[in-house]
Every structure is written in structure tokens, then in C-alpha cells.
């Protein structure tokens, strides 16, 4: 776990704990032993701590949380480092995150490789740093800057870390040689500076900047107990002695470990990683090289997908039927990049470089040299099958043909080619260049190699790819459709759009279903309903009245010129009441809890069916889809995880009652849900079992 070697008076301790050098008990023990040996060895004048592999230390071992602490504990290790009689230098070879950075902060100096990343991402796990980070980082770089880093949980690169004052040296040549030289020099000078002794950055100006940041964090503080705790502990930097600050931090950390939100976020951390383990796909399955891509359709979706490729450095041909449509598409892409330049997140040179990777062409023949083609035209099976037939003829053997359909049958699309094994669904979410979710739709005959390629492409594009099977709407939209039906039903039964939306935002979503529908445009659902022969009396009546959402200035809400969000509209409320009376429904009021139950239990029920049918491999995959594609609040862990916390028996009983009340049999508990509820079990207890 920790190897040691002495080289010209410097003891180099190398952590070797794959895959990411998490600080498990064995590693802590190895480091404390190395420190003890160094202290006792007269040949040793200083230490260097580094790691093998591409990570320095990814932090505490998250899987150890909640288990009884093993000695030496984190605080014991940190104390041993700081109090080492011989200077200790951290040689940061890669990512130093969480407890990993805290180890480095407790050392007497830090030397980083140019590619290293440093950060305290604990906030993303519902925690705060728990090994002195909240007290040491502010002393090195000022409380305001340190607070921002810890609140956002985003790491900084080595050069930025040096400019901020976290790192002393960025090693342009050999990291270990540079760190060892520095360690020897410190030993010679008798220098052993400790972050805890610094006060020079803790000024009144810093306090003012910190308090200003706290003000803009009000919403997160209210929502997340760890953010409120972070504020309190960082504030202690100004008001309390170092050891008191550390004690306060520890107290909060130990409390937060037991917090349900942190448990949910830790579950999400592992669920997201689990998605890469796809049943039936061996680790050795080779992904095909993708040197060049093509996207068919330069609409909003196609343009967004082209941006994804360009951002990942993959040259892409954007294909349309006419030069005019192409020009519109390219102009929209330029606008997207311009907005990033204005926000300061993209340099003008980088914008030009990325635009240079996107070539617009009219006619499908331009896809000839692509290793992967993503079709993103409108949802019409005849159009899609015709395009796939042509692409099959035009592209080279082995080129992957992907469709971005959000609900059509990928098997049928694949059957339009002579290479169904190369056909797959890549369901991006709008805006495609922003949303992290990618549903990878494995059709009946899609080859393992093509699935592996899609997964590796998804990761290269910065997405979280989740493999799903073919069915109407796949996982996300299939479950969403249940919520949409329930939302419409709530309106006719007596609730109003703002009441439903408020219950959903109070639950933790950023937007309620009706504000969302207004944003997306009501005509999309209208068209789909018509094609399927379905009805939604309120939504249909709004569409007929030309209330198509924000773009029309009115939908479920009205959007006066310049308003940033919708306002209640008495006309809509009258319209809803009229629909209820036409349906002979006596309207009644609903509490927010009841609204949440009626909207979300049917979704959980559909999730159970999806699992039973094997459309999703695991409950975790369903959760990851909802977290990354539909704004499910991460601290609630996803719909299936949430259902387990609510209790499946309660959900099944409520669904029975909803079915009886509405006469809608599809609301009856799915067999899997019923069985688990009767056995007193959870979805989590299924593991790999089905």
C-alpha cells in the first residue's frame, strides 16, 4: 500500500492503492509508519509523499464511510504529518481531491506536476472537508477564495493552484527530483512551515468578500445542511483558534456522514460509476476508433450534437438537405459559442478552433468518410428508415449508424440497413451540448463492440452514458409520460398549474412540469398525442387556443414582455375549471404531499416495469438517468432510491387507491413492485436479481 525508499537523505513514501489511491486504513497506517521511521532514522533529513498511477489521492475511501473508524484515523494521520520533526513535501502527481488535498495541506510544502488537479469536492457528497481542509485552505489562499472552491467542489489545475497559493512549485521537469530537492533545501534551512500558523491572508477585506459570497449562497444553505455547515466552519477561521475550528469541522463532518442527503449522494456517486458495467459486455470488448463523425439534421438537436463532437476534438460534418437549412444551423452553433465567449467560459481562439472542426454540407453523401453518423432529424419513422437505408449504402463497412430518436423503435430503424449490428440509439437530451445524460439504446442486434464504442464515445463527449433497451420512450421519457398524465389529471381533479409546480419545486426539482412544458413548447406533446390517438383535455384546449408555451408568450402561464418566469393567468384557470365541469368532475384541493405522491408514484411504478422487462439493467441506471436528464434532485438519490426510502408497501397501496379512484388500471402496482412490497423488500435488495 505504501512503499518507501531513501534517496540521498530523503525518504520517499509512494502510495500504491489502485484504482485511485483512496486513503483507506492500510494507506493511513503505511504513511504513519513511514513518518515514524523517517523520524527515527538519522540518515533521513526530509520526506516526500507521492503516489503511483495517475491520481495522487482521490480522498477518503468513500466505501468506508459509516463503518467503525480504524486507527490511525484521518485526524491522527494529519497530525503526524504536520508535527513531523522532519519537513514533509507532497509531490502531487495527479488529482489531489478531498482528504487527498487535505493530506497535502498538512505537509510543509507542495510540489505539483503540471497536469495535477487539486480540489475539495466533499460538498458534492453532502459533506464538508473533514480533515482540516476548511481551516487550512483559507489560511493559505484566503477564506473567500477557499470558501468558493469548497462550495462549488470544482478542482483547479496546478498552475492556478500555484497562483492561488495552494502549491509552492509546479514541476516542469521530473516531479520527484524537484520535490526531493525542495525537501532537502527545507531540511538544510530548518524550514517546516505549517498552514495552521498562517494568518496573513485572513484580513477584514477577506471577511467582507467571504460574507458577500455567503449571501449569494442562501438558497443552497437552506437546501443542503452541509453547505450551511461549511459556512459556519469557514467563518470560524476569523473568529476561533485553529484547533477549535478543526474541532467544529470534525463535529459537523461526523454528523453529516449520517445525514440522509449525504447517504443519497454517496449512493449516486457509485451508481454513476456502476453504469459503465454493462451486463453481457466484457471489459475486453474493444471500442472502434472514431476519427470523424457526421450529424444528419442541423436543427437544435443536431447542432447541439455537432458541438459535442467539436468540443471533444472530433471533426464532424453537419448534414442538411438544403444550403439554407445548413446556414441556419451553422449560425445557431455560432450563437451558442458566442454566448460562451461572452460568459468568459470560452476564448475567441478556442471558439474558432472548434468551429473549424465543424463542416457543413448539403446531401447525405457527405457522410461517406464518417466512422459514426448520428441522425437527428424529426421523429418520423418513414424519414428515418429512408435515411438509414441511404447511410448504409453511403458509409464504409464498420461505420456506426446512430439515431437520436427519443421514442421510435430502433429495431425497425436498424432493419432498414444491411448492418443492424452497427445500428444503435444515442439519445441526447436538450440542450445536447449541456445535458450530461446520454441514453445508449441497444437494439436487438446491436453488437457488443458497437455498444462499447458508444460508451467510450459518450465518456469522451463528457456525458454519462447509460445503456437501455428498446421500448417506447426508453427509460427517461417512458417514465416521464406517466408524470405528464398524472399532472394533467391533477388539473382536471382540482389543482392549478402553479400549485402542482410549487409542490414539485419544493420537492427539489428546479422546475415544475407545467413551467417545463411551457419552456419546451406544448405543440411537441400535442403532435405526439395526435399521432397516438391520445387526449389530454387541458393541454389540448391550450394548444387549440394557440397557447403553445413561452415562445407564444402564453401557455399554462402568461409571459408578459420581459418577464423571466410565467405568471398565473385567470383565463387558464377558467379553462381548466370548464374542462373539469365538462368531464363531470367535482374539483377539490390537493396538499403538496398528495401532489408529489400522485405525480411520482406512477413513475416509480413504470420504473419497476422497466426493470422487470430488462429495459434498464439496474435501479441505479434508472436513477442516474433521472438525475442527469430530468433534474431529479441529487440529494434524493433518484426515483427508485427515493421509493425505497418512502417504502414500497406504502407506494403500492397508494397506487391501488389511485387506480380504483380513476379507473385507470395502468396505475395498479406492477408485479415486481407488488412482490417487493409484499415481501417487505426494497429495489436496492434486488442487486443483480430480477
Site for ligand 3H9 in 233-292 (CB under 6 A): 270, 273
Backbone angles phi, psi at 314, to 5 degrees: -100, 120
Residue 76's alpha-carbon distances to 16, 21, 71, 650, in angstroms, are 20, 19, 8, 45
Per the CB < 8 A criterion, the answer to whether 93 and 56 are in contact is: yes
- Shortest CB 101 distance to ligand 3H9, Å: 8
The single residue among 36, 41, 63, 535 that binds ligand 3H9, judged by CB under 6 A, is 63
The SS3 assignment for 648 reads: helix
- Shortest CB 95 distance to ligand 3H9, Å: 5
Residue 402's alpha-carbon distances to 13, 292, 375, 428, 446, in angstroms, are 49, 14, 6, 11, 11
The single residue among 30, 87, 121, 360 that binds ligand 3H9, judged by CB under 6 A, is 121
Sign of CA dihedral 507, 509, 513, 519: positive
In angstroms, the CA 202 to CA 238 distance is 7
Residue 173: alpha-carbon gap to chain centroid: 35
- Among the listed residues 64, 82, 122, 689, the single catalytic one is 122
Binding mask 124-153 for ligand 3H9 (x = CB under 6 A): -x---xxx-x--------------------
- Shortest CB 638 distance to ligand 3H9, Å: 17
C-beta closer to ligand 3H9: residue 62 or 541: 62
Which stretch, 57-65, 184-192, 344-352, 573-581, contacts ligand 3H9 (CB under 6 A)?
57-65
- Shortest CB 247 distance to ligand 3H9, Å: 14
Partner residues linked to 13 by β-bridges: 4, 49
122 part of the interface to ligand 3H9, by CB under 6 A? yes
87 part of the interface to ligand 3H9, by CB under 6 A? no
Give every CB contact of residue 120 below 8 A, 6+ residues apart in sequence.
97, 98, 101, 102, 129, 133, 137, 149, 150, 153
The SS3 assignment for 311 reads: helix
- Shortest CB 153 distance to ligand 3H9, Å: 8
C-beta closer to ligand 3H9: residue 129 or 225: 129
C-beta closer to ligand 3H9: residue 9 or 153: 153
In angstroms, the CA 17 to CA 2 distance is 8
Site for ligand 3H9 in 94-113 (CB under 6 A): 95, 97-99, 102
Residue 667's alpha-carbon distances to 92, 494, 529, 690, in angstroms, are 55, 19, 19, 21
Instruction: Supply the angle between the helices 639-646 and 619-629 in degrees, to the nearest 10.
Output: 120
DSSP E strands in 32-153: the ranges are 46-51, 55-57, 88-92, 95-97, 109-112, 117-119
C-beta closer to ligand 3H9: residue 134 or 404: 134
Residue 620, all three cell numbers = 441505479
Mark whether 8 is an active-site residue.
Answer: no
The residue nearest ligand 3H9 at its CB is: 98
- Among the listed residues 82, 102, 320, 375, the single catalytic one is 102
- Shortest CB 445 distance to ligand 3H9, Å: 29
The vertex-477 CA angle with 471 and 480, nearest 5°, equals 130
The vertex-386 CA angle with 533 and 528, nearest 5°, equals 20
Residue 324's alpha-carbon distances to 302, 337, 360, 375, 376, in angstroms, are 15, 20, 11, 19, 17
C-beta closer to ligand 3H9: residue 125 or 486: 125
**Which residue's C-alpha cell is 527515527?**
40
Helix extents (H) in 240-322 = 242-257, 260-274, 300-311
Per the CB < 8 A criterion, the answer to whether 603 and 639 are in contact is: yes
Per the CB < 8 A criterion, the answer to whether 488 and 535 are in contact is: no
- Shortest CB 657 distance to ligand 3H9, Å: 40
Count the site residues for ligand 3H9 by CB under 6 A: 25
- Shortest CB 233 distance to ligand 3H9, Å: 12
C-beta closer to ligand 3H9: residue 102 or 371: 102
Residue 70, all three cell numbers = 480504524
Site for ligand 3H9 in 15-54 (CB under 6 A): 19-20, 22
Which stretch, 91-99, 198-206, 404-412, 574-582, contacts ligand 3H9 (CB under 6 A)?
91-99
58 part of the interface to ligand 3H9, by CB under 6 A? yes
C-beta closer to ligand 3H9: residue 156 or 294: 156
Burial annotation 369-397 (CB, 10 A radius, 16+ → b, else e): ebbbbbbbbeeeeeebbebbebbbebbee
C-beta closer to ligand 3H9: residue 11 or 125: 125
The single residue among 1, 25, 39, 62 that binds ligand 3H9, judged by CB under 6 A, is 62
Per the CB < 8 A criterion, the answer to whether 623 and 464 are in contact is: no
513 part of the interface to ligand 3H9, by CB under 6 A? no
61 part of the interface to ligand 3H9, by CB under 6 A? yes
The single residue among 14, 28, 32, 74 that binds ligand 3H9, judged by CB under 6 A, is 74
82 part of the interface to ligand 3H9, by CB under 6 A? no
C-beta closer to ligand 3H9: residue 58 or 401: 58
Mark whether 251 is an active-site residue.
Answer: no
Smallest CA-to-CA distance from 283 within 422, 398, 455 is with 455
C-beta closer to ligand 3H9: residue 304 or 620: 620
Which stretch, 92-100, 377-385, 387-395, 495-503, contacts ligand 3H9 (CB under 6 A)?
92-100
C-beta closer to ligand 3H9: residue 97 or 141: 97
- Shortest CB 624 distance to ligand 3H9, Å: 13
Which stretch, 90-98, 144-152, 176-184, 584-592, contacts ligand 3H9 (CB under 6 A)?
90-98
- Shortest CB 116 distance to ligand 3H9, Å: 11
- Shortest CB 511 distance to ligand 3H9, Å: 28
Sign of CA dihedral 510, 516, 519, 520: positive
Q: Which residues are catalytic?
A: 102, 122
Residues lying near ligand 3H9 in the complex (CB under 6 A):
19-20, 22, 55, 58-63, 74, 95, 97-99, 102, 121-122, 125, 129-131, 133, 270, 273
Amino acid at each position: 500500500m505504501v512503499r518507501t525508499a531513501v534517496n540521498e537523505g530523503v525518504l520517499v513514501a509512494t502510495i500504491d492503492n489502485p484504482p485511485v489511491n483512496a486513503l483507506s486504513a492500510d494507506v493511513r497506517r503505511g504513511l504513519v509508519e513511514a513518518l515514524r521511521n523517517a523520524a527515527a532514522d538519522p540518515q533521513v533529513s526530509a520526506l516526500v509523499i507521492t503516489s503511483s498511477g495517475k491520481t495522487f489521492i482521490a480522498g477518503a475511501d468513500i466505501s468506508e464511510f459509516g463503518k467503525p473508524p480504524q486507527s490511525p484515523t484521518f485526524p491522527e494521520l494529519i497530525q503526524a504529518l504536520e508535527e513531523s520533526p522532519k519537513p514533509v513535501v507532497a509531490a502531487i502527481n495527479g488529482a489531489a481531491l478531498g482528504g487527498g488535498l487535505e493530506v497535502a495541506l498538512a505537509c510543509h510544502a507542495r510540489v505539483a506536476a503540471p497536469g495535477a488537479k487539486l480540489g475539495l469536492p466533499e460538498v458534492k457528497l453532502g459533506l464538508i472537508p473533514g480533515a482540516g481542509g476548511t481551516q487550512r485552505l483559507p489560511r493559505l489562499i484566503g477564506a473567500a477564495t477557499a470558501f468558493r472552491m469548497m462550495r462549488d467542489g470544482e478542482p483547479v489545475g496546478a498552475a492556478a493552484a500555484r497562483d492561488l497559493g495552494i502549491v509552492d512549485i509546479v514541476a516542469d521537469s521530473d516531479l520527484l527530483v524537484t520535490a526531493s530537492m525542495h525537501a532537502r533545501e527545507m531540511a538544510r534551512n530548518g524550514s517546516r512551515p505549517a498552514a495552521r500558523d498562517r494568518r496573513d491572508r485572513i484580513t477584514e477585506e477577506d471577511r467582507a468578500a467571504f460574507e458577500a459570497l455567503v449571501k449569494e449562497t442562501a438558497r443552497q444553505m437552506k437546501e443542503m445542511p452541509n453547505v450551511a455547515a461549511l459556512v459556519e466552519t469557514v467563518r470560524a477561521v476569523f473568529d476561533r483558534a485553529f484547533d477549535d475550528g478543526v474541532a467544529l469541522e470534525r463535529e459537523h463532518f461526523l454528523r453529516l456522514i449520517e445525514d440522509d442527503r449525504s447517504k443519497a449522494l454517496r449512493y449516486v456517486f457509485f451508481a454513476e460509476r456502476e453504469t459503465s458495467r454493462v451486463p453481457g459486455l466484457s471489459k475486453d470488448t474493444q471500442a472502434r476508433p472514431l476519427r470523424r463523425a457526421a450529424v444528419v439534421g442541423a436543427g437544435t438537436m443536431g447542432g447541439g450534437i455537432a458541438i459535442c463532437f467539436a468540443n471533444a476534438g472530433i471533426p464532424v460534418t453537419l448534414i442538411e438537405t438544403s444550403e439554407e437549412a445548413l446556414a441556419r444551423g451553422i449560425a445557431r452553433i455560432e450563437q451558442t459559442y458566442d454566448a460562451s465567449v461572452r460568459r468568459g467560459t470560452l476564448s475567441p481562439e478556442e471558439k474558432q478552433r472548434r468551429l473549424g472542426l465543424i463542416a457543413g454540407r448539403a446531401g447525405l453523401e457527405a457522410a461517406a468518410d464518417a466512422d459514426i453518423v448520428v441522425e437527428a432529424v424529426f421523429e418520423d419513422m418513414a424519414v428515418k428508415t429512408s435515411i438509414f437505408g441511404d447511410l448504409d449504402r453511403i458509409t464504409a463497412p464498420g461505420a456506426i449508424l446512430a439515431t437520436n430518436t427519443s421514442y421510435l423503435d430502433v429495431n425497425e430503424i436498424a432493419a432498414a440497413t444491411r448492418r443492424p449490428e452497427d445500428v444503435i440509439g444515442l439519445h441526447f437530451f436538450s440542450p445536447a451540448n449541456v445535458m450530461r445524460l446520454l441514453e445508449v439504446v441497444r437494439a436487438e442486434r446491436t453488437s457488443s463492440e458497437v455498444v462499447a464504442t458508444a460508451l467510450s464515445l459518450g465518456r469522451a463527449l463528457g456525458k454519462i452514458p447509460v445503456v437501455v433497451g428498446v421500448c417506447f420512450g426508453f427509460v427517461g421519457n417512458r417514465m416521464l409520460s406517466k408524470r405528464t398524465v398524472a399532472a394533467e389529471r391533477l388539473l382536471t381533479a382540482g389543482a392549478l398549474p402553479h400549485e402542482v409546480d410549487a409542490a414539485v419545486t419544493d420537492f427539489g426539482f428546479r422546475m415544475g412540469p407545467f413551467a417545463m412544458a411551457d419552456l419546451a413548447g406544448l405543440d411537441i406533446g400535442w403532435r405526439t398525442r395526435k399521432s397516438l390517438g391520445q387526449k389530454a383535455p387541458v393541454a389540448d384546449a391550450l394548444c387549440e387556443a394557440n397557447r403553445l408555451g413561452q415562445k407564444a408568450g402564453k401557455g399554462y402561464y402568461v409571459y408578459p414582455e420581459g418577464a423571466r418566469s410565467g405568471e398565473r393567468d385567470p383565463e387558464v384557470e377558467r379553462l381548466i375549471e370548464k374542462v373539469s365541469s365538462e368531464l363531470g368532475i367535482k374539483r377539490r384541493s390537493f396538499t403538496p404531499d398528495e401532489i408529489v405522491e400522485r405525480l411520482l408514484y406512477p413513475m416509480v411504478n413504470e420504473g419497476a416495469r422497466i426493470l422487470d422487462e430488462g429495459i434498464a439493467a439496474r435501479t441505479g441506471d434508472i436513477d442516474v438517468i433521472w438525475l442527469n436528464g430530468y433534474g431529479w434532485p441529487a440529494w434524493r438519490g433518484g426515483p427508485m432510491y427515493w421509493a425505497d426510502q418512502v417504502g414500497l408497501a406504502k407506494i403500492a397501496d397508494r397506487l391501488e387507491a389511485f387506480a380504483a379512484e380513476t379507473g385507470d388500471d395502468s396505475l395498479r402496482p406492477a408485479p415486481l413492485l407488488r412482490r417487493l412490497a409484499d415481501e417487505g423488500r426494497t429495489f436496492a435488495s434486488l442487486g443483480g436479481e430480477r
